Amino acid sequence: MTQTFGELDHPARLLMGPGPINVHPRVLRAMSVQLLGQFDPEFTGYMNETMALYRQVFQTTNPQTFLIDGTSRAAIEAALVSVLTPGDDVVVVNAGRFGLLLAEIAERCDAKVTMVEGEWGTVVDPQAVEDAVKRVRPRLVACVHGDTSTTMAQPLEAIGEICRRYDTLLYVDATATIGGMSVPVDAWQADIVTGGLQKCLGGPSGSGPITISDRAADHIFGRRHVERGLATPGLAGAGRRIASNYFDLAMIMDYWSDKRLNHHTEAASMLYAARECARVVLEEGLEARFARHAQAGAAVVAGVEAMGLTVYGDKAHKMTNVTAVVIPPGVDGDRVRARMRTDFEIEIGTAFGPLAGKVWRIGAMGVNARKHALLTTLAALEAVLRGEGYGFTAGAGVDAALGVFS
């Protein structure tokens, strides 16, 4: 039976969850630019430009700064599988869903995982990290910067200093903060940091920016085993071959270098998107962008608190760009989200694991970290909550948020 379907034709929904968010119009336009061959000098020129742009976004001088094709977790997986060999010790700093994801990926690399746990809604004390590092002497410490599941932002300066002191590599997942909160890779002394486009960078998911310090790159090149059909003599490292071909950072670094190793076919439209995301970020300026996200986040907090709602977690360590709001007793969280979508074309986020059904997550990221998007969202939330019988002073949330912008 032949099946036919119409062109994509959905309403313009305002995406105010923890990501994805609405894509910047310039990024959408960049994605519609015609393809080039992957070794066309014009295309390799774009690759080099993208590396230079992301060095600035990551606040680093690392030559090894490029894109992993795939969503953010592809970049995470590339980092962990390329560093860890079976039996290596890794310390995972965990206080949320994405810390657990790091542990899960490290376990799949057959690494020995030691967890340093914090309660959801808090961050982890660096002293606990130091105690674990001193005891275990791991190859790698792995940590999430902003864990969107809890909205907490883990301070990283002290952890970076600990890792240097004990000569341990530090990996950081900055998927949810890059482009919205400061991710000063060199100042943190972090060795590998990965991101994603679909949050504060204002692009679609499908490309994972990554930056790698020289010492991490040396370790990874020590495991270089170029695939048989491409290998030339003299390149193989002494270390154990990386367990994934697709995520083999030694080969991917050779692809992004002057060697132009023919590893994968670069996802050209995603590269155009990532390049444009970084151009937009840098044109605005990092500090201005962080300030805009902080103001937008403060407006969400002021708005929901004025409606009598409670912000979840340790506010002193909250990410600026995502706010978890406790669902008040007697209110059906899923029905509120459904009405936000069907009546107002606005999406806000649900939650996972221990927080499922307990909080909504409201994002203020990229093009949506702006007054009109936040006021519209808060006004809609007020209307829906009133309709659900939740009592508060009408207009209080919008007025409080307006106050933050005035």
Ligand X SMILES: Cc1ncc(COP(=O)(O)O)c(C=O)c1O
Q: With beta carbons less than 8 A apart as the criterion, state whether 116 and 134 touch.
A: no
Instruction: Kindly state whether residue 99 participates in binding ligand X, applying the rule CB under 6 A.
Output: no
The residue within the footprint of ligand X, chosen from 64, 148, 150, 151 (CB under 6 A), is 148
- Smallest separation, CB 145 to ligand X (Å): 8
The residue within the footprint of ligand X, chosen from 100, 111, 141, 144 (CB under 6 A), is 144
Instruction: Kindly state whether residue 103 participates in binding ligand X, applying the rule CB under 6 A.
Output: no
Instruction: Kindly state whether residue 175 participates in binding ligand X, applying the rule CB under 6 A.
Output: yes
Q: What is the distance between the alpha carbons of residues 89 and 86, in angstroms, rounded to a whole number?
A: 9
Residue type, 278: A
Strands 207-212 and 192-194 turn out to be antiparallel
Rounded to 5 degrees, what angle do the CA atoms 55, 104, 365 make? 45
Q: Which residues are within 8 A (CB) of 97 and not within 5 positions of it... i.e. 6 or more apart?
A: 147, 149, 150, 352, 353
- Smallest separation, CB 98 to ligand X (Å): 4
**Of the listed pieces 2-10, 50-58, 172-180, 323-331, which binds ligand X according to CB under 6 A?**
172-180
Instruction: Kindly state whether residue 138 participates in binding ligand X, applying the rule CB under 6 A.
Output: no
- For 219, phi then psi, to 5°, come to -60, -45
Q: What is the distance between the alpha carbons of residues 321 and 366, in angstroms, rounded to a whole number?
A: 9
- Smallest separation, CB 96 to ligand X (Å): 8
CA distances from 130 to 36, 134, 144, 320, 348 (A): 48, 6, 16, 27, 37
- Smallest separation, CB 17 to ligand X (Å): 10
- Smallest separation, CB 134 to ligand X (Å): 27
Q: With beta carbons less than 8 A apart as the criterion, state whether 112 and 84 touch.
A: no
- Smallest separation, CB 69 to ligand X (Å): 12
Q: With beta carbons less than 8 A apart as the criterion, state whether 364 and 303 touch.
A: no
Size of the site for ligand X (CB under 6 A): 13
**Of the listed pieces 118-126, 143-151, 179-187, 350-358, which binds ligand X according to CB under 6 A?**
143-151
Which of 80-107 are b and which e, b meaning 16 or more Cβ less than 10 Å from the residue's Cβ? bbbbbbeebbbbbbbbbbbbbbbbebbe
Tell me whether residue 150 or residue 376 sits nearer to ligand X (CB atom).
Answer: 150
**Of the listed pieces 71-79, 281-289, 345-353, 364-372, which binds ligand X according to CB under 6 A?**
71-79
- Smallest separation, CB 321 to ligand X (Å): 11
- Smallest separation, CB 319 to ligand X (Å): 9
Q: With beta carbons less than 8 A apart as the criterion, state whether 361 and 323 touch.
A: yes
Tell me whether residue 154 or residue 376 sits nearer to ligand X (CB atom).
Answer: 154
Instruction: Kindly state whether residue 397 participates in binding ligand X, applying the rule CB under 6 A.
Output: no
- Smallest separation, CB 197 to ligand X (Å): 8
Instruction: Kindly state whether residue 120 participates in binding ligand X, applying the rule CB under 6 A.
Output: no
Instruction: Kindly state whether residue 196 participates in binding ligand X, applying the rule CB under 6 A.
Output: yes
* Nearest alpha-carbon partner for 312 in 349, 354, 360, 346: 360
Instruction: Kindly state whether residue 390 participates in binding ligand X, applying the rule CB under 6 A.
Output: no
Number of Cβ within a 10 Å radius of residue 241: 15
Q: Per the omega criterion (within 30 degrees of 0), is the bond before 209 cis?
A: no
Tell me whether residue 20 or residue 303 sits nearer to ligand X (CB atom).
Answer: 20
Instruction: Kindly state whether residue 323 participates in binding ligand X, applying the rule CB under 6 A.
Output: no
The residue within the footprint of ligand X, chosen from 54, 66, 98, 188 (CB under 6 A), is 98
Please list the residues that pair with 170 across neighbouring strands: 141
Instruction: Kindly state whether residue 200 participates in binding ligand X, applying the rule CB under 6 A.
Output: no
Site residues (CB under 6 A) for ligand X? 19, 71-73, 98, 144, 147-148, 173, 175-176, 196, 205
